[in-house]
Structure formats: structure tokens, C-alpha cells
Amino acid sequence: MHSVKLPFRKVVRSTALVMTRLRLRECYKWSVESPCLGLQLLSLGQRLKRAVRCIASAPRTCPGETRSPAVLTPPVQQGAKARPLPHAQCAPCQTPPGPRACALFQACSCRPDPGRGFLQPRRSSTRAAVAEECGEEAVCVIMCASVKYNIRGPALIPRMKTKHRIYYITLFSIVLLGLIATGMFQFWPHSIESSSDWSVEKRSIRDVPVVRLPADSPIPERGDLSCRMHTCFDVYRCGFNPKNKIKVYIYSLKKYVDDFGVPVSDTISREYNELLTAISDSDYYTDDINRACLFVPSIDVLNQSPLRIKETAQALAQLSRWDRGTNHLLFNMLPGGPPDYNTALDVPRDRALLAGGGFSTWTYRQGYDVSIPVYSPLSAEVDLPEKGPGPRRYFLLSSQMAVHPEFREELEALQAKHGESVLVLHQCTNLSEGALSVRKRCHKHQVFHYPQVLQEATFCVVLRGARLGQAALSDVLQAGCVPVVIADSYILPFSEVLDWKRASVVVPEEKMADVYKILQSIPQRQIQEMQRQARWFWEAYFQSIKAIALATLQIINDRIYPYAAISYEEWNDPPAVKWSSVSNPLFLPLIPPQSQGFTAIVLTYDRVESLFRVITEVSKVPSLSKLLVVWNNQNKNPPEESLWPKIRVPLKVVRTAENKLSNRFFPYDEIETEAVLAIDDDIIMLTSDELQFGYEVWREFPDRLVGYPGRLHLWDHEMNKWKYESEWTNEVSMVLTGAAFYHKYFNYLYTYKMPGDIKNWVDAHMNCEDIAMNFLVANVTGKAVIKVTPRKKFKCPECTAIDGLSLDQTHMVERSECINKFASVFGTMPLKVVEHRADPVLYKDDFPEKLKSFPNIGSL
């Protein structure tokens, strides 16, 4: 009995171990956010260890087992000086095993027959991340347990008694089920989350591979100043791309040392890590080097000063796809070094593109390099809420600490001349805490908080220092202060796409004395706009490293796929302007020639007789050039050709696949004219003069809906919603498309660009397609409809055969519902209300009728 119980207990334990292991995994996931990874591991480890001790109740005692697992000493790494671990961590295993938490592993190694186990003797690896080590340990424990069981298991089964068999079988099935369930648990998370979370990606920067650069390894040539996209950039790499997005590859991080093992530079800065993370998270990123169009080295050259120029260049040259730097992008914010501070990165980089902060006209290769801002760490540290418009305390403020004496003199002269309105701040000298001096500025013993003080000023001077690009520009923009850039030949950040005239004032250095006068000549309204624009630039392009990186890639992307480039408005207009402004798709004032004529589209179902009458009537209009009948009845064939009325223009019948109202607004290939007359098959009351006049009116307003019966939308104050109105009103905001002229482009818009689910909604309800068209056109053009000619008794499409009052009312309710629905989809009420309609010049004038161009108008 005893011997039987033992395996049972063990099975239970091994299951428990598996469970523990799962929890251990949880611990890993959890530890991503937690600094006390080690402690977690430790407690788990102890639990595991206790379990294993039970399993390994073998005659021999494990040597490591008796030792205390809690003692953690930092491991000593060869060839590098000892560094304390930041936290109590489960350090890597060593051979021989050290007195550490990995004692568990030793428990494994004490198993009776190591040679037959699944385990390979493990070696320590200094490079593998701590996490991996611990993970393996946990696994190893389970393996131990299973090995043991496996060894003894077979021998046990024959000894079992029959009466217990069912009991055991049940038990095993439960265990089996448990195992399967465990397996599910095991594999599920792996397929869901990317492996980056736990197996490979959790690494320490200290453990990146080291690359030794021989002293004689090649150095790239200096940058080629004549480079242009079509000469130095290999566009073929960006070939296959239906989405018009470049693919960017990031080289993996390496640590470069010279022949003597001295590192070439600090591995990576916080900002560059952020930048690469941002690229890696963006749509541009690819991990396939063969499909990449742009390569970003992980060698950090953001700041030139800590770099060893020659070795950095060598490191660049040995990148696997370097190829003279073609299609390589380097990010640099602080170029040059003492004494002469070049305005571009001094590292020889051959054809590589440079995204640099502080370019001058001498070094900037127009259309090739990208000028980027110098990131200000204060952006992330200080939260400056946007300040509304209104007067600010100072007119002009200078807040930079390192200002050339000559400039300072000029500034102080301005201060003396204009008194209170100019404030020149200095570095604080007598502050006790030196660390905070970056956030403090002084003026005559008065201490100001920086950058908060910037919000008190209308204009803020951004002078060049040793470098042209100044981080102060970012602070100034953040504060919504209009930067006054005084740095000759400086290429402003993203000047290729950003319109800096809208957000800044650039003053030549030699005109510095006149700064005050120049600024005063700017009208107040323009200043307010500039302030808003400055803040918007900061929010969109300066705020974070991510914003800078993505804007840079977007600029390069636009050069490679110019036909899909982002427009000026998208780059420059603040969201509020983008929202309120309308860009009319037909903005060119152009009166189409009368000779072009129009195409009439008649939507019909089965009212053949009425349809024929309409066709006959419409064909009398002189400017008609084609007639298109949209046959919307799938169950019935259109009449034979011989039965159709004979008319002077081509007549085409289009059969539709489904009876949908939106068929009326489909951009049929048969429409060759720009003007389209949509007409219902029962509109027989319009005279030829009226239709011809309608076409003439459309020619003068080709971007509007020109229709006959007009309708109005009203705000119902009682119900708090929109109401549809068809009474005799003095205003009009819609025309019915039962008879209306419009540009054929709106057919395209209706079919392909209708926002939301309006199109389906209309087809489902079989109503309101005309209201939807009115909304669409008004929204895209921002203009009102034109109603032509006086009101007639229309057999209107909204009054169906039974002209009952109740039906009419439900109809009105439905139409009102449509307006409310569309207004919510559009997010606004685009319809415009006007009080006029168009009539012929001499309509109802005291003039002989027969001399009028359109005499037959308004007759009943």
C-alpha cells in the first residue's frame, strides 16, 4: 500500500509543480512592471525547492540543498568590472553552482541517474538575461520531477491491486485531463501575445553583443553635399508597396569597442531608445532587412560630443547593408563640437540621409536631409497647459542662459529703451541648489520659474548659441509664445513642410536692434493666430521624441511617394481650422460651355407610360445631350426598343442588379457630360423652358445642387431636434432630387465617399436619398442649394399615390428622422439656409413675353 501511495503523491506533486511553474510565468509577466523581480522569484523558488526536496527523497543528499538559498551575491563577470545589480535578482547560474537561488537546479543534478534524463548539463551564460535563467530553472524542476516519475512509474503498475484499479484509472484520467488543460494554458498565451513579452525581448542593455572594430577598418567618405533623392537614394528598395508606406529597418543594438576594448561611445541614450521604439511601433517598421527601404542604425549619434568620430564612422561602415550609406538615416540633434561647432554631424557618413537639428543653409541638402527640432527634455517634465488668448505681461522675453555678450548688450539696450515690456533673463548665479538652476531664471535678484515664465510673454527670442538649433525653441512653442528666431542661415525644423511664417518671426542678426519695431508692426489678430499656431506645432511635431521621429519618416515617405503626399493644410492647419474649413472640390470659378449640355437620368420602376411622357418632355430641352434610363425593376424587362419614344439624342437603358434608391446616384460610365439632371419618372409638369433655364443656372453654379421643389429644415425647440418642412416658407435649404441638376462628381461622392452607413440606411428605408445628397453636397462645398423658378403644384415624390393626410404625416416624420440621423452621422448640420431662388432676369417684369428668353416659366 505504501509503495503504491508514493507515486500517487508524486504525481500530485508534479502537477503542483507544473502549476507552480505557471505561476512563475505569471511572475515574469508581472515583473515587467515591477522592480522587485528577484524577490518574487525567490519566494517562488523556495516553494519549488521545498517541493523538489520531497521528490528527491533519494538516499543521497544534494550538496546545494542544505545551503541557504536566500544569500544573493552579485556574480563576478570576467573582463568587466564588478557592477552591483540594481535589484535583488536571480543571478545567472554558474559552474560550479554558487550559493544562490539556483540551488534548485542542483536538486535536479542530484537525481539518481543523470545520464538517462532529458536534461543536458547546463552551462552558465553571462549574456542570457536573468529572466531566461530563472525560467529555465523552473522548467528544470519540473523535468526533474517527471524524470523521477518516469523511472519508477513502470515498475509500480504491475503491483497494483485490481480493486484499486478503477480508482487509479479515474485518477489518471483526471490527471490526464489536468495535463491537457495545463497544455492548453501553456500554449494559448504563446499564440496570443507575441513572444516579445517573455522569451526573447526582455533583455538588458548591458548584455548586447560586443563588436570589436579593428583600427584599420574602413571609414566612410564625408557627406556628399550634392546628394539629392534621385542621385543618392536607392528608390528601388522601396519598390513593392501598395500602401505607399516606406519600410524601415532598425539594426539590432551592438556595443562597439576598439582594439583595446574601450567602448566607442555610450551604448544608447534614453531619447534614441525612445526614438527607435517609436519607429518600431509605427506602421513603417519592418523586421525583414531584405524588404526594408530605409535603414536606421542603432548607433546613437544624437549628440556629437561624447562620440569618437572616427570609430563611430567605422562602426557605421561595417553595418551589414551600409553600401556607402545609401538609404541610411541618421538622427542627430546636437551637431558639431568646440571650437567651431559645425552645423551638421561631423561623423563621415557618405550618402546617408541626416535628420539633423541645427542645419544651416551651408550644410543642409535641400530635399535630401531633414531638419528636425532639438528635443527639449522639459517637454516631458513640465506640464504647461495651453494658455488662452489675451494680453500677456511681457511683450518680448529673452530666457536663454548662454547668450553671446554682443547679443546680450543689444537685448539689454532694448530693455533699457522699452522698460517693463521687455524682460531679459539670466542664469541664476546665487542659488544654493545647483541641480535646479535649469528650471530657474533670474533678473536682478528676482527669480523666475522656467519655462512657466515663457507663458507670460507674447514674443520670445530664440538666439543662436554655439549651435544654431536650440532646445529653447521647443520650450517657447510649448508656452504658446511666438518665437523670434535670430539665427542667420538656420534651417527651421521641418521647414520642408511646416510654414514657419505662420508661427514665428525670423529676424536677421544685423537687424536685432529693430526687433521691437518689427514686432510691433504685427497686428494683434495675427499675433494671436501665431500663438495658437506655435502651440499647435509643438503639440504635433515637437512634443515627444515619437512625434519628431514620425514627422521625419513622414517627410521622407512623402518624397518617395509624392503622389500620396500629405498636403500643406494637413501639416499646418490646427485641428480646429481643419474641422471648420471647407475645401470645395470644384473651387475653380469656371462656367462650363453651354455646348456641353447635360445628361438626364430617369430612375424608373415600372411606370412605363409616365416614363415615356417624361422622356418626350425632357427631349425637347435644347441642351439635353443624352438620356439615361435607370431601370430599377429586376422582375420586369424594359419595353422593347421599338416602343420607346423616338428622340433626337442618344437614349440608353441601364438595368440594375437590385432595386435600390442609390442606383440613381451611381456614376455610370455613360454619363459624359458634367451636368446631370436627375428626374423622376413622374415629373411631367416641368416645361422645356424651365429645364433649360435650370441648366443655365447650374452652369453659373456648377458646384451646387440646382433643383425645382425646395424644402427646409428647422430646429424644433420643443422636441430638441431637427424637423423637415415642406410648407410655403420664405427660406430654402434643400432641393428635391426628383428634378435637380448637379455635377456628376457628386455621383461619385455619393457612391464611394458617403460618410457612415447613410447609403445603406437609405437603401434599407427606401427613402431620403435626396436629403442624403443635399447633406453630402452642402458638407463638401459649404454652399447652399439653388432653387429655380416659382413653386408649382408638384405631384411630389413624397406624396405617393394615396394623398392621404395620415400618410403625409408619417412621411414627414420619416423625413425628419432622416435629417436627425444624417446630422448625427455628419457630426454637424451642413445644410445652409437661404432666402433666394433663381429666376430669369425678366421674370414677371413689365416686358413683352415673346421677347423673353424663358417665357414659359411658372405656368401651372
Kindly report the backbone phi and psi dihedral angles of residue 625, in degrees, each rounded to the nearest multiple of 5, phi listed first: -115, -15
CA distance 2 to 320: 65
CA distance 88 to 83: 13
Instruction: Work out which of 362, 520, 575, 827 binds other proteins, going by CB under 8 A.
Output: 362
Kindly report the backbone phi and psi dihedral angles of residue 770, in degrees, each rounded to the nearest multiple of 5, phi listed first: -75, -35
CA distance 414 to 487: 18
CA distance 385 to 407: 31
Q: Quick check: 826 binds other proteins (CB under 8 A)? A: no
Q: Quick check: 229 binds other proteins (CB under 8 A)? A: yes
Residue with Cβ nearer other proteins (94 or 186): 186
Instruction: Work out which of 205, 210, 262, 431 binds other proteins, going by CB under 8 A.
Output: 205
**b/e sequence 589-619, b meaning 16+ C-beta within 10 Å:** eeebeeeebbbbbbbbeeeeebbbbbbebbb
Instruction: Work out which of 259, 323, 412, 700 binds other proteins, going by CB under 8 A.
Output: 700
Residue with Cβ nearer other proteins (615 or 750): 750
Q: Quick check: 591 binds other proteins (CB under 8 A)? A: yes
Q: Quick check: 392 binds other proteins (CB under 8 A)? A: no
Instruction: Work out which of 743, 759, 815, 821 binds other proteins, going by CB under 8 A.
Output: 743
Q: Which stretch binds other proteins (CB under 8 A): 210-218, 520-528, 549-557, 713-721?
A: 520-528
Instruction: Work out which of 78, 430, 432, 521 binds other proteins, going by CB under 8 A.
Output: 521
CA distances from 362 to 368, 490, 805, 846 (A): 13, 9, 80, 74
Question: Any idea which residue has 442624403 for its cell?
Answer: 772
Cell of 634: 429586376
Which amino acid is present at 140?
Answer: C
Residues in 278-317 that interact with other proteins by CB under 8 A: 279-281, 285-289, 300, 302-303, 305
Instruction: Work out which of 107, 403, 651, 754 binds other proteins, going by CB under 8 A.
Output: 403
Residues in 710-729 that interact with other proteins by CB under 8 A: 710, 728-729
Q: Quick check: 516 binds other proteins (CB under 8 A)? A: no
Q: Quick check: 4 binds other proteins (CB under 8 A)? A: no
Q: How far is the CB of 644 from other proteins (least distance, A)?
A: 24
Kindly report the backbone phi and psi dihedral angles of residue 619, in degrees, each rounded to the nearest multiple of 5, phi listed first: -65, -15
Q: Quick check: 502 binds other proteins (CB under 8 A)? A: yes
| Chain Cα centroid distance, residue 611 | 52
Cell of 169: 484509472
Kindly report the backbone phi and psi dihedral angles of residue 722, in degrees, each rounded to the nearest multiple of 5, phi listed first: -80, 150
Cell of 70: 536566500
Query: 63: which DSSP letter?
Result: T
Residue with Cβ nearer other proteins (403 or 661): 403
Residues in 457-496 that interact with other proteins by CB under 8 A: 463-467, 471, 488-489
Q: Quick check: 751 binds other proteins (CB under 8 A)? A: no
Q: List Cβ<8 Å contacts ≥24 apart for 212-216.
A: 212/257, 212/258, 212/259, 212/261, 213/256, 213/257, 213/258, 213/259, 213/264, 213/311, 213/314, 213/315, 213/318, 214/259, 215/258, 215/259
Q: How many residues bind other proteins (CB under 8 A)?
A: 192
Residues in 435-464 that interact with other proteins by CB under 8 A: 437-438, 463-464
Instruction: Work out which of 782, 795, 807, 825 binds other proteins, going by CB under 8 A.
Output: 782
For residue 185, the tally of other CB atoms under 10 A from its CB is 13
Q: Quick check: 835 binds other proteins (CB under 8 A)? A: yes
Q: How far is the CB of 582 from other proteins (least distance, A)?
A: 5
Instruction: Work out which of 9, 417, 501, 655 binds other proteins, going by CB under 8 A.
Output: 501
Q: Quick check: 784 binds other proteins (CB under 8 A)? A: yes
- Computed from CA positions of residues 103, 109, 111, 117, in that sequence, does the dihedral angle turn out positive or negative? positive
Q: Quick check: 693 binds other proteins (CB under 8 A)? A: yes
Q: Quick check: 152 binds other proteins (CB under 8 A)? A: no
Q: How far is the CB of 14 from other proteins (least distance, A)?
A: 8
Instruction: Work out which of 61, 73, 194, 452 binds other proteins, going by CB under 8 A.
Output: 194
Residue with Cβ nearer other proteins (282 or 619): 282
Q: Quick check: 116 binds other proteins (CB under 8 A)? A: no
Q: How far is the CB of 154 from other proteins (least distance, A)?
A: 8
Q: What is the per-residue DSSP string for 682-726?
A: T-----HHHHHHHHHHHHH-TTS-EESSEEEEEEETTTTEEEEE-
First CA to last CA distance, the chain: 111
Q: How far is the CB of 40 from other proteins (least distance, A)?
A: 14
Q: How far is the CB of 423 from other proteins (least distance, A)?
A: 20
| CA torsion, ordered 76, 78, 81, 85, to nearest 10 deg | -40
Residue with Cβ nearer other proteins (18 or 41): 18
Which amino acid is present at 763?
Answer: D
Q: How far is the CB of 791 from other proteins (least distance, A)?
A: 5
Q: What is the per-residue DSSP string for 799-828?
A: S-SS--HHHHHHHHHHHHHHHHHHHHHHTS
Instruction: Work out which of 41, 51, 52, 253 binds other proteins, going by CB under 8 A.
Output: 253
252 by DSSP, 3-state: which?
A: coil
Instruction: Work out which of 34, 43, 580, 760 binds other proteins, going by CB under 8 A.
Output: 580
Instruction: Work out which of 270, 417, 418, 655 binds other proteins, going by CB under 8 A.
Output: 270
Residue with Cβ nearer other proteins (31 or 455): 31
Strands annotated E in 598-709: 598-604, 624-631, 651-655, 675-680, 706-707
Q: Which stretch binds other proteins (CB under 8 A): 70-78, 196-204, 320-328, 629-637?
A: 196-204
- Computed from CA positions of residues 288, 291, 295, 296, in that sequence, does the dihedral angle turn out positive or negative? negative
Q: What angle do CA 486, 489, 493 make, to 5 degrees?
A: 80
| 3-state helix/strand/coil string of 359-419 | CECCCCCCCCCEECCCCCCHHHHCCCCCCCCCCCCEEEEECCCCCCHHHHHHHHHHHHHHH
What lies within 8 Å, CB to CB, of 122 at 6+ separation is: 93, 105, 136, 140
What lies within 8 Å, CB to CB, of 794 at 6+ separation is: 683, 685, 708, 709, 738
Q: Quick check: 196 binds other proteins (CB under 8 A)? A: yes
CA distance 179 to 472: 62
Residue with Cβ nearer other proteins (226 or 642): 226
Instruction: Work out which of 516, 561, 761, 826 binds other proteins, going by CB under 8 A.
Output: 561
Contact 220/316 with Cβ under 8 angstroms? yes
Longest dimension (CA), the chain: 128
* String marking each residue 6-35 x if it binds other proteins according to CB under 8 A: --------x---x-------------x---
Q: How far is the CB of 820 from other proteins (least distance, A)?
A: 23
Q: Quick check: 601 binds other proteins (CB under 8 A)? A: no
Q: How far is the CB of 469 from other proteins (least distance, A)?
A: 10
Residue with Cβ nearer other proteins (6 or 200): 200
Cell of 848: 413683352
Q: Quick check: 111 binds other proteins (CB under 8 A)? A: no
Q: How far is the CB of 643 from other proteins (least distance, A)?
A: 29
Q: Quick check: 636 binds other proteins (CB under 8 A)? A: no
Residues in 160-179 that interact with other proteins by CB under 8 A: 162, 165, 168-169, 172-173, 175-176, 179
Residue with Cβ nearer other proteins (285 or 605): 285
What lies within 8 Å, CB to CB, of 526 at 6+ separation is: none
Q: Which stretch binds other proteins (CB under 8 A): 190-198, 608-616, 645-653, 713-721?
A: 190-198
Q: How far is the CB of 642 from other proteins (least distance, A)?
A: 29
CA distance 410 to 372: 29
Q: Quick check: 235 binds other proteins (CB under 8 A)? A: yes
Residues in 36-65 that interact with other proteins by CB under 8 A: none
Q: Quick check: 244 binds other proteins (CB under 8 A)? A: yes
